[in-house]
């Protein structure tokens, strides 16, 4: 079920549109420090783990820079495409980690061959979901509101299962839910 989403050719364009909407909302609020006007300061990313063909703007992360001299604070809005500073796309990190919960050696080999994701990286992501993510201020607050509580050993699968809809809809809802950890203000150390 999740493997098909990794190859979904329409999903990247949809996530890009969501990111554009989030960026416009962020820009409209102005600088988080001085409320000055924000200018575009997008920066390049080299997304890995997605379908072979991505929309043209996919290789740029939306970001802004305050226009007020002396402030010039960078403001990077939340994203559904990128999970903090990870080089792999958020969909890959979520879905491959979810598949890892019940994966076989054959599936690990497939992920390595098709997406270029090493076993070491997959294990590191699982560690991030089990150890780093649950310790973020975001998860301590948001996770506490989920009843019954989720077992951190089953993240992100247990979180995906909390949302209703198709696999694609659940993935998008999960990405929207965790997008606060993708901003500078709430970022966590990502490997």
Does position 4 have pLDDT exceeding 90, yes or no?
no
Does position 140 have pLDDT exceeding 60, yes or no?
yes
Band of pLDDT at residue 175, cut at 50, 70 and 90: very high
b/e per residue 130-162 (b: at least 16 CB within 10 A): eebbeebebbeeebeeeeeebeeeebbbbbbee
Q: 76 Cβ partners below 8 Å, 6+ apart? A: 61, 62, 63, 64, 183, 184
- State residue 111's pLDDT score: 75
Mean pLDDT score of the chain = 88
Dist CA 177 CA 191 (whole Å): 21
For the chain, the domains span 2-182
The per-residue pLDDT for range 77-115, each reduced to its tens digit, is 999 999 877 789 999 999 988 886 656 777 777 777 777
Does position 187 have pLDDT exceeding 90, yes or no?
no
Q: 159 Cβ partners below 8 Å, 6+ apart? A: 150, 174, 177, 178
Q: Which of 187, 183, 159 is nearest to 172 (CA)?
A: 159
Dist CA 151 CA 42 (whole Å): 37
Dist CA 129 CA 34 (whole Å): 35
- State residue 103's pLDDT score: 61
């Amino acid at each position: 079920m999740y493997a098909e989403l990794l190859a979904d050719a329409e999903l990247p364009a949809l996530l890009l549109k969501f990111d554009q909407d989030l960026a416009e909302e962020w820009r409209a609020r102005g600088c988080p420090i001085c409320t000055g006007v924000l200018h575009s300061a997008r920066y390049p990313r080299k997304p890995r783990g997605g379908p072979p063909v991505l929309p043209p703007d996919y290789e740029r992360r939306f970001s802004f820079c305050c226009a007020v001299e002396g402030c010039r604070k960078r403001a990077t809005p939340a994203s559904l495409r990128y999970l903090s500073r990870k080089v792999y796309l958020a969909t890959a990190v979520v879905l491959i980690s979810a598949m890892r919960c019940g994966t076989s050696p054959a599936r690990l080999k497939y992920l390595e061959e098709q997406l270029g994701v090493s076993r070491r990286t997959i294990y590191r992501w699982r560690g991030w979901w089990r150890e780093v993510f649950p310790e973020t201020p975001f998860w301590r607050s948001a996770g506490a509101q989920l009843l019954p509580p989720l077992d951190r050993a089953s993240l992100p699968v247990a979180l995906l299962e909390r949302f209703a809809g198709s696999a694609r809809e659940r993935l998008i809802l999960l990405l929207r839910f965790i997008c606060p950890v993708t901003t500078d203000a709430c970022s966590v150390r990502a490997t």
